[in-house]
Chain A
Amino acid sequence: MKIKILVLAIFYLIGSFNLSNAANSEKVDQISKNLRCLICQGQSVYDSQSDFALSMKILIQKKIDEGKNDEQIYDFLKSKYGEWIVYDPEINKNTVLLWVLPLILFVFGGLLIFRKVSIK
């Protein structure tokens, strides 16, 4: 429900822009590549041509024009849509294993090999 209202609000926002001449800036591309298109099946905002994705790009452009930096824009989007929207999960107590587990496995495997081979 929340998301629906938000989407509607954003559609309203589009009204005030002229879509036809907007060539997206490189910055918008860069940020939208890291965002999930929430109404699509496994596509980023950058890749999608859905209404949601198009309005997201406009929203990002607006935030850039307001002088917000990348961090602030991501934080803003995360607070609105939740962690799910970013493809690059931040490290916190929920995701620490996601980031660290492969590294632990690598070190563990490396030690195993090191023990097995003789150096001389």
Chain B
Amino acid sequence: MLNQIGNYSLYIALLSSILIIVQSPILLNRNNINVSGRIFSLISIQSLMIIISFIALIIAFIISDFSNETVYNNSHTSKPLFYKISGTWGNHEGSLLLWLLVLSIFLLIFTITSKNLSNKYRILTIFFQEIIILGFLLFILFTSNPFMNLFPIPNEGTGLNPILQDPALAIHPPILYLGYVGTSIIFSSSLAALISGSVNKIWAKHIKDWVLISWIFLSIGILLGSIWAYYELGWGGFWFWDPVENVSLMPWFCLTALFHTILILEKREMFHSWAVILSITTFSLSMSGTFLVRSGILNSIHTFANDPSRGVFILCFLFILITLSIFIYFFYQNKIKNNFAKTYIVSKETAVLVNNLFMMFFLSVVLIGTVYPIFLEVLNNDKISVGPPFYHKLIVPFMIPFLIFMAIGPNFSWIKDKTNRINLQQLLFFILSIIISFIFLKRVGVSYLFSLPLFIASFFLFFITIRDFSAKKTNLSQKISHFGFSLFILSVLVNGVLAKEYSSNMKVGDERKFLNKTINFESLIIDESKNYQSLQANFKITDKNTSINLKPEIRVYDQPQTITSEADIESTLYSDNFLVFNILKNDGFYNVRYQIKPFMIWIWISIILISFGGILSIVKKNG
């Protein structure tokens, strides 16, 4: 029953999509017709149908309707309700339906909120967005239908990957998708603006909100993924330069560059073409991300779905979209008003260009590092791994000038800054940063090649962004985001330099000395939970005056049978105590890993601050 409802509503949505695509070129030539007529009702019907099908899938998951193949493959009656619901998008078919849902709802929001813009621009945006929606509908209906019937109806499902049964990971995909899919509107509207010759201030002002919204969701989505990796994957890190993590970072770099460019376009009517190119690139990266993750060609912990035929479909679709946009770009490029206003070297405009240069560099490092091994294997049959050392070697040296530039750049005036002014205050902060970094690194005893300049640059940015709170030139949301970023870099660096780790094999009753602390393996109990068995350990960590208890767990899930380690983390403002243990083959012994991670919580707080700056900017404008 639910399967039929889901299927039929998707077919109706497909029909509306085709109707809109066929009608829009006709409406385009009639200037006096308002979009809010027939096309608007079609879009509303389409969104409604997709919402219905999505709700049908959620209900199928909630009531464990195993006549649905997707539910059978990804759910189990013993799962808690929350994970039954999050199971809806914890799999390939469901996550694509979620993509589609967001695509259509965003289009509806776009149509409602763009009423005061030109008809031609709106219809064209709807047209391109519908092409994307059509592609996804075809993809879902013919290669990854979430409403496949299963007969005879099984009594029990096969379960959801236990590693995905986690609150942060349950909401991570929807948030990330809102970011990814938000870029589709940017893509469609930039092509529409290009064709209708309206790449200008008004377009910039209108699309800025979409850029910000996508950027905020993407940032929070990445944050949730990192927090999850930190406490669930059991190695105490939050970023591994894993291909799937990289895939979410690439559109982030692009969106950050685009946002800064859009600001210039809005204020000074410059960099029109570049804004359009960035808009197209951002969406292509989001789509490629979905393709890379879904096709299973990446070797990664995240690839929970892989099927080559699906990969081929997305690849073809991606190829069509990119080719189409390149053609449109070169065909209509001459419509762009190119503004050759003079750009002086010391000006806000140049600062944004340099910001874009660095963003594009970081993007290219991550992009090339992620896809190069795939191409090399296909062409040469050589398998290589590109991991953290590669990214650190290429990114760290460029981070130093980038951070210094980020400190100075935002304070430049528009058009032309007084070049011959020596900023005494900045100089003082710089000297202060040198002294602090030098003393800090000397005391810690670190002597890597880049650590001193890197610390100097990040302290400098940190001081300047704090000072900027009293400056008048920039707005509050920018100050918060930039300060958040400097805090982020500094926390990551301090955390990296000061983190301490101890690993040993212990059995119950063992005691180990580490630095000035004693680690006691006090007890181990077995506990039964609804859908797993757990081994709960109790460790006591004592130093001179304090003691804390950490209770990590090993969980044995039965549906499907999997063992996971749950770290126990005690967070304070200064430092995290992280302890995780694993089963060893030797009887009675467990591998215990204890880590002290200073300023860990500030990494999360700083990313929240970065995103908050964006939220504030939207709220202030519309409130």
A residues apposed to B, CB below 8 Å: 19-24, 29, 33-34, 36, 41-44, 46-47, 49, 51, 54, 82-89, 94-95, 97-99, 101-103, 105-106, 109-110, 113, 116-120
Contacts and interface: CB of A to CB of B under 8 A. Distances in A.
Interface string B112-135: 000000000000000000000000
A87 B505 contact: no
A22 B505 contact: yes
B386 A89 contact: yes
A99 B364 contact: no
B384 A89 contact: yes
Secondary structure of the B contact surface, majority rule: mixed
Given A36-B387, A42-B299, A89-B385, 16 more contacts: A19-B585, A22-B504, A23-B503, A29-B503, A34-B389, A42-B300, A49-B234, A54-B591, A83-B382, A84-B383, A87-B387, A97-B372, A98-B369, A98-B386, A101-B368, A106-B398
B387 A34 contact: yes
13 contacts: A19-B585, A41-B299, A42-B301, A49-B582, A83-B383, A86-B385, A87-B387, A89-B385, A102-B368, A106-B357, A106-B360, A109-B361, A119-B345
Interface string B239-273: 01011000000000000000000000000000000
A59 to B, nearest CB: 16
B299 A102 contact: no
A23 B390 contact: no
B350 interface: yes
A101 B369 CA distance: 10
Contacts of A119: 345
B384 A83 contact: yes
Nearest to A120: B344
B343 A116 contact: yes
Interface string B323-347: 0000000000000000000111101
A11 to B, nearest CB: 10
B357 A42 contact: no
A118 B301 contact: no
A51 B586 CA distance: 11
Contacts of A110: 357
B345 A106 contact: no
B505 to A, nearest CB: 5
Contact of A46 (B235, B349, B376, B565): B235
A42 B240 contact: yes
A94 B385 CA distance: 12
A110 B356 CA distance: 10
B469 interface: no
A88 B386 CA distance: 6
A116 B501 CA distance: 50
Most A CB within 10 A of own CB, among B237, B361, B398: B361
B243 A42 contact: yes
B435 interface: no
A94 B387 contact: no
Interface of B: 233-235, 237, 240, 242-243, 299-303, 342-345, 347, 349-350, 353-354, 357, 360-361, 364-365, 368-369, 372, 376, 380, 382-390, 393-394, 398, 501-505, 507, 512, 565, 582, 584-586, 589, 591
A118 B368 contact: no
Contact of A21 (B233, B350, B387, B505): B505
B345 A98 contact: no
Nearest to B236: A47
Contacts of B350: 113, 117
Contact of B501 (A29, A49, A85): A29
Contact of A105 (B243, B302, B354, B360): B360
B300 A101 contact: no
Contact of A118 (B302, B345, B372, B386): B345
A118 B343 contact: yes
A47 B240 CA distance: 10
8 A-B pairs with least C-beta separation: A87-B387, A88-B389, A47-B235, A84-B383, A49-B582, A42-B300, A23-B504, A102-B364
B589 A20 contact: yes
B164 to A, nearest CB: 14
Nearest to A109: B357
B386 A87 contact: yes
A97 B364 CA distance: 12
A83 B372 CA distance: 14
A51 B482 CA distance: 45
B384 A94 contact: yes
Nearest to A84: B383
B585 A51 contact: yes
A94 B365 contact: no
Contact of A88 (B234, B299, B390, B503): B390
Nearest to A104: B364
A70 to B, nearest CB: 12
Contacts of A29: 501, 503
A74 B421 CA distance: 53
Nearest to B349: A117
